[in-house]
Amino acid sequence: MPMVTITGADLPANPTSGTVSVMFNPASVPELKTLEAWSPGNWFASSANWRPSLGSPGGVGGTPAPNAGAGRLFNNQYGFTFMSNPSLGLATVPAGKSLGIRLRSIASSSMEVFNYGNASNRWDQVFPSVGSQVLWNGSMWHSYFTLPADAPGGTFTATFEVFVATTSFSGTTGFAQYDAAASVAVADPAFTPADVTYTWTVAAVPEPATAALMASAVIAFTVTARRRGAAV
């Protein structure tokens, strides 16, 4: 998870200038997968706001029709967190201002990002397009990233800019604010912003002919193994 700090500040306890820094060294690349791949045989409650998109289709893994969804691929391993410690030169967020996160680029127009809240049953899309932004209160925030169930295998990325906004955080939707005020928030030019890029993988789905060939090979192997076992 990226660790965001403000370094090189003139007044660490309440800075008027500085540099936003992002420390990010992931140990591995996470994968976007379906619910059935993440948790076989389970499904979301019919009342869950994320169920229609993330839930497995009816019948898949025994999923009942009322709990069925589109079966999108998803992952929430990435997120943001902010750390300050003025005595160590890690400045606080300036009074009357807030942190902002802006989507700079995304590998697929089909990739969507959501602010999730289990207790509040919240499933709100954020960053609907390149250039969109949210205000962030600095608490650890895990957003969900999704792709259609039929997304091709490969690598997908999204790049974000983290900046200091000239307006304060006033959100009521959790750790991120994505109302009209957030959408027009302006970056403070006295603070240098920083970029961070997330990367995911999607497993390739075999072509139908290849899948059928693999299935035939498995059946043939099983039958041969059984015959050998019977002959022993």
pLDDT tens digits along 112-134: 999 999 999 999 999 999 999 99
User: What is the pairing mode between strands 154-165 and 98-106?
Assistant: antiparallel
pTM equals: 0.86
Q: What is the pLDDT of residue 210?
A: 45
Q: What is the pLDDT of residue 26?
A: 86
Q: Residue 207 — very low, low, confident or very high, per pLDDT cuts 50/70/90?
A: low
Q: Are 126 and 141 in contact (CB under 8 A)?
A: no
Which of the 8 DSSP states describes residue 209?
Answer: H
User: Of 132, 124, 128, which is closest to residue 111 (Cα–Cα)?
Assistant: 128
pLDDT at 229 over 60: no
Token digits for 93?
């967020």
Question: Where are the domains positioned within the chain?
Answer: 3-34+72-204
Token digits for 57?
């289709």
Q: What percent of the residues of the chain are helix, what percent strand, and what percent coil, each to the nearest 5?
A: 20, 35, 45
C-alpha dist (Å) from residue 211 to 36, 56, 99, 216 = 18, 21, 48, 9
* Cα–Cα distance measured from residue 181 to residue 177, given in angstroms and rounded to the nearest whole number: 9
192: how many CB neighbours lie within 10 A of its CB?
A: 17
Give me the amino acid identity at 116: Y
pLDDT at 76 over 50: yes
Condensed to tens digits (0 to 9), the pLDDT of residues 160-186 reads: 999 999 999 999 999 999 999 999 999
Q: Are 101 and 136 in contact (CB under 8 A)?
A: yes
* Cα–Cα distance measured from residue 175 to residue 179, given in angstroms and rounded to the nearest whole number: 13
Q: What is the pLDDT of residue 212?
A: 44
